[in-house]
A and B are shown apart, each in its own frame.
Chain A
């Protein structure tokens, strides 16, 4: 579903990713672990298309199985443009960030951004409807959207009143991460890259977030790349594969037991 091939990237001319290759098939959750500075967040930003994160080599192919935009109507297909059409392989790096989102990619931010003056409801409604327009789907009405938002907030154990507040302003670290998962629930992406979604969470929040990831993203046609430092989130979200990123490359890959080994022995030991 997501194929990363020999990906090299620089930030401010400094090479950070030095040939990352990784394949996440549909229906799987892959974890990426690695020491500080190994390039985990850079990988997440490159996948989402953050400006300033320059890809110098390599490719990322995103294949959405049975994409909702595939209506079968040729006129409809024509409107979408070749880069966003149906079941094809998408060259992710050719798309702008908002087009990647419309194609079904979601980035859970390590540090969710505050936007004063814009309520969460307005932010997410405009985001979702803009994605739906890009996919040729009907927009949700105000009522439909509020119902969806309330439902998702409730499932994540977040007070729906918080969605009336400006985006992330005055939210605690844990509330921001929970809100990221509410966003994911509302936007319902095909593929989620979650950058240290577990950091800053207390035990209850960790459990809620873990359950949220399973509920929203565990499906035969979805995939997850879970970036984390710790085993604890993986107790709730069992990964199919674990990869160790070091110095901008995948050093090792293995099953879920690799995460436990890393937790026990540390990165230096495990890499040796």
Chain B
């Protein structure tokens, strides 16, 4: 049986483009499950596809001391959604480096629910959004720390860059903590390109469009620095940035 179609009343679907989702829902209704066994590690790079509507719904289970590192680029022309539900057993580590790059009327969102179930788990989520036109880019990130999951260390860093007045960035870190010895940091900023950085670059000879492109590259490309093979995602992010500048 297909899962019921979501509504905007559900917090995790609040900013979704449900009209775009409707025709393809059946295809994505059931999330994909990935399991990383105790002590094992996983690194994945998720590149955007060519489709107008792209969803990735993944449940990721990390055993004790397992490590997972995900690099994801969300840049769908109409609606893109990366949804990750992660559970961490004792000492597990989860890292997400993801970007929403949106242009025109597109909606791209990254929705995570990271559940720290065991002691000493560590999670790092770094999200960057670059949006122009009337594009929407969202990050809804929930971190749950279960009773007894002491010494959890969770961090969320979310930054959005709006290139036009009509663009929207939604950043919503959410914490639910049932342990008393944990570290959960979160930071979110939304801004425009820094005028002084632009002037500095232009004073060195870069024309305004190239200066903007360079600054945006700097804003996004740092995400892929620790990927084992970043070439493909670098190139895809470069293409996506060229479309928004």
Contacts and interface: CB of A to CB of B under 8 A. Distances in A.
Interface of A: 48-51, 96-98, 100-102, 106-107, 109, 112-118, 122-124, 126-128, 130-131, 134, 166, 183, 187
A267 B208 CA distance: 40
B205 A128 contact: yes
Contacts of A113: 196-197, 199-200
B208 A98 contact: yes
Nearest to B216: A117
Contacts of B211: 98
A127 B214 CA distance: 10
Contact of A187 (B200, B205, B210): B205
Contacts of B200: 109, 112-113, 115
Given A117-B220, A122-B214, 16 more contacts: A50-B203, A96-B207, A97-B199, A97-B202, A98-B205, A98-B211, A101-B202, A109-B200, A113-B200, A117-B221, A118-B214, A118-B217, A118-B218, A131-B205, A166-B218, A187-B204
A254 B221 CA distance: 51
A134 B202 CA distance: 13
A209 B231 CA distance: 39
Contacts of A98: 202-208, 211
22 contacts: A51-B199, A98-B204, A98-B207, A98-B211, A102-B205, A107-B203, A109-B203, A113-B197, A115-B200, A115-B215, A116-B218, A117-B218, A118-B215, A118-B218, A123-B201, A127-B206, A128-B205, A130-B206, A130-B207, A131-B204, A134-B205, A183-B204
B225 to A, nearest CB: 9
A10 B196 CA distance: 18
Interface residues of B, number: 23
Contacts of B201: 115, 123, 127
A109 B219 CA distance: 23
A122 B207 CA distance: 15
A200 B102 CA distance: 42
Interface in B185-209: 195-197, 199-208
A231 to B, nearest CB: 28
Residue among B201, B208, B210, B220 having the largest count of chain A Cβ atoms under 10 Å? B201
